[in-house]
Amino acid sequence: MSSASVVLLTGSRGFTGRYVREALVQTGYQVTGLVPDTPGPGEVHGDISDPASLREAMSRVRPQFVIHLAAIAFVGHRDPWDFYRINLFGTLNLLEALTQNGVKPEKVILASSSNVYGITPLPFVGEDFPPAPVNHYATSKLAMEHMSRTWLDRLPLVFTRPFNYTGPGQSEDFVIPKIASHFAHKKSEIRLGNLDIEREFNDVRMVAQAYRALLETAPSGTTVNICTGVGHRLLDILQLASRISGHKLQVEVDPAWVRPNELPSLVGNPGHLKQLIPDLPSFTIEQTLTNMIESLQVKTLA
């Protein structure tokens, strides 16, 4: 990999994108973030819902690599049409812009989601488990995968299915940042949905390093779970947050936040990922949650 290798990063200003940019820069890549509004340093204008702006961006950047993170990622997003407009057709616009401008990147990584697996009886879900999405977010991601595979004769695509992950800077629309914030700010109570669900809550820094390394190790056409195989119940997270912060609060289960199609458990099989990236850094949930709570306490003091 040359120090001049350019990575076009969509979603570069988002939670994941900021960490992926940092991981790439530290390794010597030149990163150009694709942004829908006025670009700043290291950015180029391009809206994934606007094909003309994407064609212009590809002509200007001509990247050696692409990591496509831009998406509606919150399962509870209120407008289901947005999932398909952005996650599916936005990706189609991106792939068309790459090929129409004669850009031939060495690798294009497309971020899908572990949510495509749906409800599974398996304790650890591998890439060969038949997808069965149960919500619009997951359906849009699986549709994106199927659509994109029609481009494999023209572009070297890699499909990633990240399991749940978190870290400092994630929106409180997501449950772990919400929990961390309530404990960091010493709130008296917290309202949550189903406390018995089991999820991986991996560290965004591990995920960022996985994206960086997959540029160099994953063959075209590969589907990769980004996961650790370690699940946690929300009840356990609440107890851990209380111990880290030294604070106790009242937990209220709000029936309105218990989704009827909630997946009871979703934990991945990391075997394929470990084959491709044997030296991926690891973080315990205690390390991640401690970082989140401490970063919020520092902001409060500032």
DSSP assignment of 94-152: HHHHHHHTT---SEEEEE--GGGG-S-S-SSB-TTSPP---SHHHHHHHHHHHHHHTTT
pLDDT digits (tens, 9 = 90+) for 219-242: 999 999 999 999 999 999 999 999
**CA-CA-CA-CA torsion sign (233, 235, 236, 238):** positive
Radius of gyration (Cα) for the chain, nearest Å?
19
pLDDT mean over 65-89: 91
What pLDDT does residue 135 have?
92
Residue 29: alpha-carbon gap to chain centroid: 20
**Res 1: pLDDT:** 45
Taking the model in full, what pTM does it have?
0.94
Dihedral angle, C-alpha 242, 247, 248, 251, nearest 10 °: -70
Does pLDDT of 2 surpass 50? no
Q: What is the pLDDT of residues 147-190, one digit of tens each?
A: 999 999 999 999 999 999 999 999 998 999 999 999 999 999 99
User: Does position 300 have pLDDT exceeding 90, yes or no?
Assistant: no
pLDDT over threshold 90, residue 196: no
Is the pLDDT at 302 greater than 60, yes or no?
no
**Cα–Cα distance between 292 and 168 in angstroms, integer?**
5
241-283: per-residue pLDDT in tens?
999 999 999 999 988 777 777 778 899 999 999 999 999 999 9
